């Protein structure tokens, strides 16, 4: 678990991000908030990657579209690329609902669209 340090009325002390999987290929779950509220998470995630030098992230899973779960995807991808810790085919999975949080993030970071795959609601 990597704490995001983005406290708020509904987030208590802040949201959490998880790195899960066996072996060296891992999935990153809920990579934090919008960049202006995510600096501590990005530092914590960078530290995690430094300590776990063998880890590569192949997937990012977003549990829902609120800023504090989806807003940090772009910055997490940027960090993974900078540290050469993303697989070449890194994908982002999220149930696409078109809510205003999701729309805001995709308008702010349109390049996310090419990596984003929907999780069907079946």
Catalytic residues: 68
Phi and psi for 104 in degrees, rounded to 5? Answer: -60, -50
The pair of three-digit structure tokens given for residue 34, joined into one six-digit string: 């919008």
| Sequence-ordered list of residues with C-beta below 8 angstroms from that of 66, at least 6 positions apart, any chain | 101
The pair of three-digit structure tokens given for residue 97, joined into one six-digit string: 């609902």
């Amino acid at each position: 678990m990597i704490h995001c340090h983005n406290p708020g009325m509904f987030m208590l002390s802040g949201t959490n991000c998880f790195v899960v999987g066996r072996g060296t290929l891992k999935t990153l779950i809920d990579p934090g908030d919008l960049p202006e509220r995510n600096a501590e998470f990005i530092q914590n995630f960078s530290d995690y990657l430094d300590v776990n030098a063998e880890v590569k992230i192949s997937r990012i899973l977003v549990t829902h579209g609120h800023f504090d779960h989806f807003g940090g995807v772009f910055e997490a991808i940027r960090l993974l690329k900078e540290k050469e810790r993303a697989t070449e085919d890194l994908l982002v999975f999220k149930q696409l609902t078109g809510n205003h949080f999701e729309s805001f993030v995709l308008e702010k970071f349109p390049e996310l669209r090419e990596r984003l795959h929907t999780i069907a609601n079946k």
